[in-house]
């Protein structure tokens, strides 16, 4: 068995055990963050029926995934990096989900471009949950107005996403995200990475973005 497959199976077992402990009745999806990794690392996961993968650069995603997605129609590709407005058209050609909507200019561009496609992308609003100056994301105090603007632009907003501050207990921020999501009546929350996905589960994260725990450290 390929190491990436074994790593993913171990993570799934760990998650299932935790959910049973918590007596939760849900099963979060794992996005294998495959950015920078070659298809030799990724194909074993595809061959074992994993379907959710994450990339953070549009051009890299197109080069790696265009042919595979033609042959594997069930693959779901997630844009997990910052999306520039001049890359939106190309992004919509390859990505099924966008996890990083964080400003009105980008929302407007996606709204205009998605009219050219049969399927609208499923979108997560990125929230700057720690109010960090160096991070992208919508301010918590503006989230309701931003969400309403997105709905008026006919965007398919399915949930929210966050990157909690490093070197701080993520539970506080994950708890805030859960409350925001509930207030917006959204079903999906994209939070939890290799370092803190077990904490995210406690707060009902539905999409976990896991990279190094599956693929190993990036060189």
Averaged pLDDT for residues 107-116: 97
Give the model's pLDDT for residue 217. 83
Alpha carbon distance 174, 176 (integer Å): 5
Nearest to 150 by CA among 121, 119, 189, 190: 121
Q: For the chain, give the percent of residues with pLDDT over 70.
A: 100
pLDDT interval class at 133 (50, 70, 90): confident
Give the model's pLDDT for residue 219. 63
pLDDT digits (tens, 9 = 90+) for 139-168: 999 999 999 999 999 999 999 999 999 989
pLDDT digits (tens, 9 = 90+) for 5-25: 999 999 999 999 999 999 999
The whole-chain average pLDDT of the chain stands at 96
pLDDT(137) > 80 = yes
Give Cβ neighbours of residue 142 (< 8 Å, ≥ 6 apart).
Answer: none
Residue with the two structure tokens 């299932």: 16
Question: What are the extents of the domains in the chain?
Answer: 3-215
Q: Domain 3-215 falls in which CATH fold?
A: TIM Barrel (3.20.20)
pLDDT(85) > 80 = yes
C-beta separation of 97 from 78 below 8 A: yes
Averaged pLDDT for residues 34-59: 96
How crowded is the C-beta side of 217, counted as CA atoms within 13 Å?
Answer: 1
Nearest to 215 by CA among 63, 29, 53, 37: 37
């Amino acid at each position: 068995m390929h190491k990436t497959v074994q790593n993913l199976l171990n993570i799934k077992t760990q998650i299932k055990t935790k959910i049973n402990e918590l007596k939760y009745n849900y099963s979060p999806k794992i996005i294998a963050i495959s950015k920078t990794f070659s298809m030799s690392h990724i194909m074993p996961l595809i061959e074992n029926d994993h379907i959710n993968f994450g990339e953070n650069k549009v051009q890299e995603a197109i080069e790696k995934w265009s042919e595979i997605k033609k042959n594997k129609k069930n693959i779901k590709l997630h844009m997990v990096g910052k999306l520039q407005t001049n890359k939106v058209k190309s992004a919509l050609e390859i990505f099924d989900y966008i996890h990083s909507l964080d400003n009105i200019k980008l929302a407007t561009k996606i709204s205009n471009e998605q009219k050219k496609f049969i399927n609208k992308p499923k979108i997560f609003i990125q929230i700057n949950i720690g109010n960090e100056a160096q991070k992208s994301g919508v301010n918590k105090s503006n989230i309701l107005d931003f969400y309403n603007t997105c709905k008026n632009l006919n965007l398919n907003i399915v949930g929210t996403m966050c990157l909690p501050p490093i070197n701080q207990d993520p539970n506080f921020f994950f708890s805030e995200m859960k409350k925001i999501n509930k207030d917006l009546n959204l079903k999906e929350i994209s939070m939890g990475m290799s370092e803190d996905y077990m904490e995210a589960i406690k707060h009902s994260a539905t999409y976990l973005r896991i990279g190094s725990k599956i693929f190993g450290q990036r060189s």
